[in-house]
Amino acid sequence: MADLPRPIDVLPHRPPFLLIDELVELEPGASATGLWHLADQDFFAGHFPGRPTLPGVLMLESIAQVGVMAVLTDERFADKLPLFGGVDKARFRRQAVPGETLRVEIEMTRLGARAGKGSGRATVDGEVCCEADLLFVVVPAQAG
Protein backbone atom coordinates (compact mmCIF):
# COMPACT_ATOMS: atom_id res chain seq x y z
CA MET A 1 0.00 0.00 0.00
CA ALA A 2 1.40 3.34 -1.05
CA ASP A 3 0.47 5.25 2.14
CA LEU A 4 2.26 2.86 4.50
CA PRO A 5 5.93 3.37 5.33
CA ARG A 6 8.54 0.99 3.99
CA PRO A 7 10.21 -1.14 6.66
CA ILE A 8 13.68 0.03 5.61
CA ASP A 9 12.59 3.64 6.23
CA VAL A 10 11.45 2.93 9.82
CA LEU A 11 13.38 -0.05 11.16
CA PRO A 12 16.97 0.30 12.36
CA HIS A 13 17.73 -3.16 10.89
CA ARG A 14 19.58 -3.54 7.60
CA PRO A 15 20.09 -6.46 5.22
CA PRO A 16 20.73 -9.23 5.73
CA PHE A 17 18.86 -8.83 9.03
CA LEU A 18 15.97 -6.71 7.74
CA LEU A 19 13.37 -9.46 7.54
CA ILE A 20 10.11 -7.65 6.79
CA ASP A 21 9.65 -6.88 3.10
CA GLU A 22 6.50 -4.80 3.27
CA LEU A 23 3.92 -3.45 5.66
CA VAL A 24 0.27 -4.16 4.86
CA GLU A 25 -1.51 -2.79 7.95
CA LEU A 26 -0.51 -0.26 10.58
CA GLU A 27 -2.08 1.45 13.56
CA PRO A 28 0.81 3.38 15.15
CA GLY A 29 1.34 2.41 18.78
CA ALA A 30 -1.30 -0.32 18.57
CA SER A 31 -0.75 -2.94 15.85
CA ALA A 32 0.98 -3.80 12.60
CA THR A 33 1.04 -6.50 9.94
CA GLY A 34 3.90 -7.16 7.56
CA LEU A 35 4.99 -9.70 4.98
CA TRP A 36 8.25 -11.60 4.68
CA HIS A 37 8.67 -13.29 1.31
CA LEU A 38 10.86 -16.33 1.95
CA ALA A 39 13.22 -16.74 -0.96
CA ASP A 40 16.66 -18.32 -1.09
CA GLN A 41 18.11 -16.74 2.06
CA ASP A 42 21.58 -18.10 2.82
CA PHE A 43 20.54 -19.76 6.10
CA PHE A 44 18.25 -22.19 4.26
CA ALA A 45 21.33 -24.00 2.88
CA GLY A 46 22.32 -25.08 6.38
CA HIS A 47 18.90 -25.24 8.06
CA PHE A 48 18.45 -27.97 6.88
CA PRO A 49 20.26 -29.45 3.85
CA GLY A 50 17.67 -31.27 1.78
CA ARG A 51 14.79 -29.86 3.83
CA PRO A 52 15.13 -26.06 4.11
CA THR A 53 13.13 -24.73 7.06
CA LEU A 54 12.82 -21.21 8.48
CA PRO A 55 14.43 -21.16 11.94
CA GLY A 56 11.94 -20.51 14.73
CA VAL A 57 14.08 -17.78 16.24
CA LEU A 58 13.83 -15.86 12.95
CA MET A 59 10.04 -16.16 13.09
CA LEU A 60 10.22 -14.56 16.55
CA GLU A 61 12.54 -11.87 15.19
CA SER A 62 10.13 -11.12 12.33
CA ILE A 63 7.31 -10.64 14.87
CA ALA A 64 9.59 -8.32 16.85
CA GLN A 65 10.43 -6.29 13.73
CA VAL A 66 6.76 -5.78 12.95
CA GLY A 67 6.31 -4.73 16.57
CA VAL A 68 9.09 -2.19 16.16
CA MET A 69 7.17 -0.78 13.17
CA ALA A 70 4.10 -0.29 15.39
CA VAL A 71 6.16 1.36 18.13
CA LEU A 72 8.41 3.62 16.05
CA THR A 73 5.56 5.00 13.94
CA ASP A 74 3.98 6.31 17.17
CA GLU A 75 5.38 9.85 17.40
CA ARG A 76 6.10 9.39 21.13
CA PHE A 77 8.83 6.88 20.21
CA ALA A 78 10.33 8.39 17.04
CA ASP A 79 13.76 8.88 18.68
CA LYS A 80 13.77 5.57 20.58
CA LEU A 81 14.88 1.99 20.01
CA PRO A 82 12.79 -0.97 21.25
CA LEU A 83 14.94 -3.92 22.35
CA PHE A 84 13.95 -7.48 23.26
CA GLY A 85 13.19 -7.87 26.94
CA GLY A 86 11.76 -11.38 26.82
CA VAL A 87 9.61 -13.92 25.06
CA ASP A 88 6.65 -15.66 26.70
CA LYS A 89 4.30 -18.39 25.51
CA ALA A 90 6.25 -19.08 22.30
CA ARG A 91 4.78 -21.93 20.28
CA PHE A 92 5.83 -23.24 16.89
CA ARG A 93 3.02 -24.99 15.06
CA ARG A 94 3.99 -25.19 11.36
CA GLN A 95 7.19 -25.02 9.37
CA ALA A 96 7.76 -22.26 6.85
CA VAL A 97 9.86 -22.97 3.77
CA PRO A 98 11.38 -21.13 0.78
CA GLY A 99 8.80 -19.82 -1.66
CA GLU A 100 6.19 -19.09 1.02
CA THR A 101 5.14 -15.72 2.37
CA LEU A 102 5.06 -15.27 6.11
CA ARG A 103 2.29 -12.93 7.28
CA VAL A 104 3.47 -11.39 10.54
CA GLU A 105 1.06 -9.64 12.91
CA ILE A 106 1.39 -8.02 16.31
CA GLU A 107 -0.95 -6.24 18.67
CA MET A 108 0.56 -4.11 21.39
CA THR A 109 -1.04 -5.14 24.67
CA ARG A 110 0.93 -2.64 26.75
CA LEU A 111 2.96 0.35 25.64
CA GLY A 112 4.58 2.60 28.22
CA ALA A 113 7.35 5.18 28.08
CA ARG A 114 10.07 2.66 29.00
CA ALA A 115 8.69 -0.77 28.12
CA GLY A 116 5.90 -2.66 26.44
CA LYS A 117 4.43 -5.98 25.48
CA GLY A 118 2.93 -7.32 22.28
CA SER A 119 1.12 -10.47 21.24
CA GLY A 120 2.10 -11.68 17.80
CA ARG A 121 1.90 -14.47 15.33
CA ALA A 122 3.31 -15.54 11.99
CA THR A 123 1.17 -17.45 9.50
CA VAL A 124 1.39 -18.95 6.02
CA ASP A 125 -1.87 -19.19 4.07
CA GLY A 126 -3.83 -18.71 7.30
CA GLU A 127 -2.03 -21.52 9.15
CA VAL A 128 -0.22 -20.47 12.33
CA CYS A 129 3.53 -21.10 12.22
CA CYS A 130 4.51 -19.28 15.38
CA GLU A 131 2.83 -17.30 18.13
CA ALA A 132 4.34 -15.55 21.14
CA ASP A 133 4.12 -12.67 23.56
CA LEU A 134 7.12 -10.35 23.26
CA LEU A 135 8.36 -8.02 25.96
CA PHE A 136 10.58 -5.08 25.12
CA VAL A 137 12.33 -2.13 26.66
CA VAL A 138 12.58 1.27 25.04
CA VAL A 139 15.97 3.02 25.04
CA PRO A 140 17.39 6.11 23.33
CA ALA A 141 18.19 5.42 19.68
CA GLN A 142 21.73 6.75 20.09
CA ALA A 143 24.05 5.35 22.76
CA GLY A 144 25.37 7.92 25.13
How far is 100 from 51, CA to CA, in rounded Å? 14
HSE (CB half, 13 Å, CA atoms) of 134?
A: 29
How far is 87 from 97, CA to CA, in rounded Å? 23
13 is catalytic: no
Exactly one of 4, 35, 47, 115 is catalytic; which is it?
Answer: 47
Residues marked as catalytic: 47
